[in-house]
Structure 1
Amino acid sequence: MEIPNSIVVGGFAVPLGLVGVVWRLLNAKIEAGDKALLEKIEAGDRALIEKIDSGHAVLLEKMKELFDDTNKCERILHKKVNSLAERSVEKTHCDLKERLALNRFETVEKEVDQRFKSIDSKLCMVKDSNKADHTELKAGLQQSRATQAEIQKTLTKVSTQLGMLTESKKGERK
C-alpha cells in the first residue's frame, strides 16, 4: 500500500514528511528482507541437491568397486581351487579347497563390511550437514517473519496516529 506525500486538510495540502519517509523505509526493508531470505532458501536448496547428488555418486562408485573386487576374488578363488585339485590327492584336495574357500570368504566378508561401514558413515555426514542447513534456513525464515510482524505493528500504529491527526485537524477547522 503506497502512502501519499501529503493529505488535504481544510482545502490545504499538508505534507506528511516523516511518516511518509518512515513508511517508505519500512516497505523497502521488508522487500529487501524477503529477497534475501528467498536467495538464502534457493542457495540452500541448490547446495542440498548437490550434496545429495554427490553422495549418491560416491555410493554408486563404492558399490561398483565392491562388486568388482568380489568378482576378482571369486576368479582368484576358482583358479586356486582348480590348481590345488590338479596337484593333490583326493583327500588333500578336499581339505585345501575348504580351507582356501573359508579364508577367502572371511577376507571378502571383512572387506565388504568395512566398505559398507565407510559408505554409511559418509551418508550420515551428508544427512547431518543437510539437517544443519535446513535448521539454519528455518531459523532465518522465522526471524524474517518476526521482523515482518513487528514492522506491521509499527505501520498499524503509524496509520492509527495518522488517522487521529487527521481527525484532530478536522475538529480544529470546524
Structure 2
Amino acid sequence: MTHSDDFSIRPAVHLDTEDIARIYSAAILERNATMLLDPVSAKEMSHKLDTLAPRESIRVITDATDRVCGWGIVKMYSERPGYRLTCETSLFIDSQFRGKGLGEKMQLALHATARELGFHHIIVRIWAANEISIALHKTCGFSLVGIQKEIGHVDQKWIDVAVMQCLLN
C-alpha cells in the first residue's frame, strides 16, 4: 500500500504545468471543487506560475519518480492592505492518488509555506456538498465559518460554498 511518506512536495516549475493543468482540468470537469467551468491549458498554468505575486506559491506533490500527483497554491486573499496577513489555499489531487493521505500532506505543506510567506490566517472556500474536502480541512485545523448560500452557479444549478479558516500560530 502506498503511504503519503512515499511522496514529496516541492515548488512547481514550468515542466510541471502540463500535469497541473491535467489535474486541475479533471477537477473542473468533476464539478465539485472549483467555480471554473472550462478546462485549463498548460500555457494558462505556466502564465499563472509566471505571474504569482511575491507572497504566492504553487507547490506540487510527486511520487518517487517525480510524477506530479497533485498541486496546491497559496495566494493572497485580497490586494487590500488590511488583508495582507490573510491568504487562501486550494489543492487538487489526481483522482488515482486520492485516499492516500496526499491531501492532508499537501494542506499541511501549504500551512508551512503560508507561515514562511508571513501569513497569519488561511481561508478556504469549498463546495458545501464536498464533505470529503471539508473533513480533510477540519483534520488540518480549519474551522467552519459559515455557508454562503447560492453563491455559485454551475450547470444551471446553485452552489453553496463552505468558508473555513485556520489561524497559524
Query: Do Structure 1 and Structure 2 share a fold, with TM-score over 0.5?
Result: no
Higher-Rg member (1/2): 1
TM-score normalised by structure 1 residue count: 0.17
Structure with bigger RCO (C-alpha 8 Å, 6+ apart): 1
More helix by share: 1
More strand by share: 2
TM-score normalised by structure 2 residue count: 0.18
